[in-house]
Each structure stands twice: as structure tokens, then as C-alpha cells.
Structure 1
Amino acid sequence: MKVLVTGGSGFIASHCLKTLLARDHTIVTTVRSAEKGEAILAAYPESSKGQLSYVVVPDIAQEGAFDHVVISDPPFDAVLHTASPFHFRFQDSKELLDPAIHGTKGILRAIKDNAPSVKRVVITSSFAAITSTDGHPDVYSESQWNPVTYKEGIEDRSKTYRASKTLAERAAWSFMEEEKPGFSLATLCPPWVFGPPIHVPESQAALNTSNAYFAMLIHGGWKEKLPPTGTWLWVDVRDIALAHVRAMEVPEAGGKRFFITAGHFDMKDVAEIAKMRVPEYADKLPTKLTSDKPNPLYGFDNGRSKEILQLEYLSLETSVVDTLKFLQSHDI
């Protein structure tokens, strides 16, 4: 298949590229600069000529940003839309909200109008689009939606990221219902995403959000107190990448939303694994480790991901150790 992947230099997207290449798909990925694009090509010198290329899209929220991108010869069969900002350094809430919402609607419109060959679109959503801060259900699954509004996302910074993911995904499903395009949609909702990155970041400051926590551990930032867990569910980046590719490949995935999680965890679990498996960091951690899991803690239902996408989730131990070893080996 020929696949368009948006935001190819991102943490999840870079693993999607690796998985797609391993399964012999041909890929074009969008990047914000030629520099990022060349870095991606350099990371895969073994890929056959023409199997991986890039196109520059400086601003995914711009009107018509994807119109020329989706036109290809030979044409695209599928699109993985992963591009959406995830950080807490924004000055204006619209820096997260508008690219997420407008970028999602924009690419779906571009595909419908200009790429009739595309039969499957997969969008990276988030557990943020499922979870609620106003009280949790007994069990979380794909059936729940975060009730957050755009107004709340603008006015309350603690809700901005959740609003960006929720409203972007809602916009995608609304588009499908109203426009009835010639392609089917699948969305994926992961919680915390752990695991080693593909690309070596230039500095600790350039790390993605989750890996920044592991770098803090290495550099003694957990010594006095463990950071708050926040969301007591996680998944490894290699599993969410495989989920994207299988959601693209498996016919039964069309029209479905997937909750992608390996299960419960807290930062105490991460610290215990670090002490046991990477003991050189034991002195970077508190002597006494305490859990911040609430009791009772909400459950989760990831059955659809196992049944339809055939996911077999990596263990937390594997994810934590691989991440710490990567950061250690690159002196980050």
C-alpha cells in the first residue's frame, strides 16, 4: 500500500514509519521543515529508493494545507494522521486547539476532494478524548467521550490539551457522518505513551512529554518525590504504532474507535522497575516509594484492540528498561 503519514518526525509517527517500512509499505510523510525531512531519511538508510519520502507542510492548520499533499502518482491507498501538538509550553490555548481541530478537518476535506483512491484514514486521538475530570466511570472503553467544550479549552489551561484531542476527534466523526466520503475512518485513543524514541533528540529539552519524565529520573528529578502519575493507564509506543498500521490494514477496523492501553501503572511501578533493572539509578530515587493510585481505581476495556487489531501488549518492565537504556546510551 502507499501511505501518507502526517507529522513523521513525531514520537508516535516515527514508530509508525518504522513499522510501515518493515511491512513493505511505501510512505510519504509530512514534516514542518526540510531539515526534519532529511533527518527522517537519514534514520532509514536501508529503505529502498522511493519507499520513503517527505513533503513539507509548515502549518497544518492553514486553509488547504493538505490539498496538494494528498495528490500522488501512484495514488495513496491510506492516510495515517498523527500530526497534532502535545506539550504544555503553549502561551495561547489556540496554539493547541486550532491546529488539532482545523488540521484534522482539513486533511479529511483534502482527501475527499482530491484523493478518491484513499480507502482508510487512521487518526491518532487520545485517552484525553475519553476521560472525564468530573468523575470516572467504573470502566473506561471506547464508548465514553470527554464532555469538554472549546470554551473550556480556551479558558482553562488544564483542559486545553484534552479539548484539542476531543474536539479534533469529534470533528472527524462528524465529517464522516455529514460528508459520507469514499473512505472509512478508524481512531486510536492511547493514554500515557512510553518507550524509546526512534530519533536521538538534540537535547533533554527536545524530548517528547513522556520521555522527559524518564530523563528527569536519570538526572535526579525524582530523588525527593515521585512525580504525580496523573493518568494511571499506559501503552508502549511500539504497540500504538502497530495499532495504527493494523487499523489501516484490517478491513474490520473501519468505522471503529479503539482504546489502546496495556493497563494500569503508577510512577511507583516505574521507579521499582528502575531500581531492580537499572540499579545504577537507585540513588536517584526516594528510599521509600509510595503509590498515588486511588482506591478504587477505574477499570479499562481494551478488548476491541485485542480482538480486531490482534494486539499483544508489551510489559511495563520492557518499556521502562528500553527507554532508560536508550536515554542512557545517548547521554540524554
Structure 2
Amino acid sequence: MSSTNLPHQSEELERLRALLPGWVKTSKTMCQAGKVASYIPELSKAPADALGIHVIDFSGNSVTAGDCGLSFTMQSISKVFTLLLALIDRGPEIVFDKVGMEPTGDNFNSMLKLELVQPSIPFNPLINAGAIAISSLIGGDGPEEKSERVLRFFRRLAGNPELAYDLDVYRSEALSADLNRSMAYFLKDKGVLKGKVDDVLDVYFRHCSIAVTCSDLSRMALVLANDGTDPLSGEVLIPRRYVQIAKTFMVTCGMYNASGQFAIEVGLPAKSGVAGGILTLVPGRYGIGIVGPSLNPKGNSIAGVHLLETLSQSLDWSLF
């Protein structure tokens, strides 16, 4: 994929520079209709009225608007990239022996289908049970080495060697994780998890608590938009086939059980997190990072989703 902008793309970026601040201002009014996540106590401290966006193209040109400098934790967005690392480490056959490939229609933290559907493997790697199973597949001797490999991988993708854990959020997650522990012990009982449950969960809590900005998310999305090659360095970071797998999961499962509606209204691969982040991309063109901590009932940024609907429909970005 060439990193040289097409003429119409340069024009589109200029249009974005002109229109994005107004679109952000309009979408920001949606924040009051949502709520900041509180089931992880530390997340409740986020500013409910914040909304920011960073868009970057294959030449490194970027457009920003709103509260794009706000730091937040990746939460479920990290699941896309731990899936990719597990695929690199283990290959698809082993990975998909432990997790399925289908949307659930249930909440991201539901245990319901683990017991009802046989075999008792998580439906996909982007729900909590699936991401916990994926965390167990990352290569390394013990949770410290596994977590260090995850952090190193994320830093390369974001082009930011300073990425680090938010230890306050990490501790808050670990202390409020009874449901995740229940899922992990169930998975261990069914033979899906190997090793110590606490070790697997430690890797999971840590990757969810990696702190980023919209700029970091957009750079990570840019690599996916270019099929695994960083267009700014030319370095192949992820095999193209694995990126195809991840982007397909993003379309079908990335916005929790609102993924179908998001595909209709926005039509782009995306992954959200309960800290208010959304990572999305326009294949072959842009990486996009958004933050808006006020969430809708499905757990997605209420203003961020509204902003992406505006962008996609105004600029004809939908893949469909």
C-alpha cells in the first residue's frame, strides 16, 4: 500500500480540518445522556463531558479536535491486539481451539453461553471470557514476561516507547473483578485455561490498564488500516492474514452487542472500551482514535458513536 496521499484524500483531510471541530461540538452534547463506567471504581473519575478525536493518514498527516490529549486506559480495545499477539505466538489453529468466531448477542461480561453451549469455549476473543482465554495463550514464562511482551508489542504499534500501565486502574480492576474471576475459574474447570487463574488474570488486567491517548489509538489503527504494515516506517508488524481476522471480529463483535447497529450506521471496523475509547479505521486510508468517557447502555462512548456516525455518513466511509 502506497503511503502517498491521493489528491482526493488530501482534500478530504482539509475538509475534516474545517468541519471536525463543529461536529465534535455537536456530538459532545450527547455526553449528558450517558454515564461514565463505575463498576471499575477508578474509571468513575473520568470527565463525563469529554470528547476528543485524532485522525491520521498514511503519510503521517493528522487532524485533531476536542479533548484528544486526555489519557485513558485501553480496556477492551486491548483485546484486538492481544488476539493478534496470540495469533503470532500460537497460530490460528491453537487460538481457535480455545475461543470461537461468533458474536454472542449477550453483554461483554456475560457467562450465560459458556454453560449453555457446548463445547464450553468463549464465543469470540473480544468478550471478557474470550480475552481471558487469549491472555493465557500469549508466550512467556509467567505473567511478568507475558505482560512485558504485550506492552512492548503495543508500544511498537503505537510508535510510542512511553506507553505504560495506569497502576491505579490496574489495582482497581483487580479488586473489583469477581465476575471475571468466576469466568476464569469456569474456563479452567473446562480445560480452556491452563496454569494459575491469578497469573492469567494478572496479564488480562494489565493489558486492559495500558494508558493511551487518541493519538496512540490512531497510530495502532493505522497499522491495521494498512494490513499489518506500519505505513510510516514500512515495517511489517503483523501478518496480513491475522489483521484480516482481527478486523472481521471488530466488525462483528467490536462494539459489544451493538455491533450490528454500528455496522449499519457507521460501517467501519471498530473496537470500544469502557473507559470511553474507540479505535476505528478506514481501510487503506486512515487510523482513528476517539475518547468520550460517557457511555451508552451498551458500554460504548455515546458521543464517540454519534461522532463516527456523522463522519461516516458525511464522508461516505462505510465499507458497505
Relative to its length, the structure with more helix (as a share) is 2
TM-score (normalised: structure 1) = 0.29
Which structure: larger Rg?
1
TM-score (normalised: structure 2) = 0.29
- Larger relative contact order (CA 8 Å, sep ≥ 6): 2
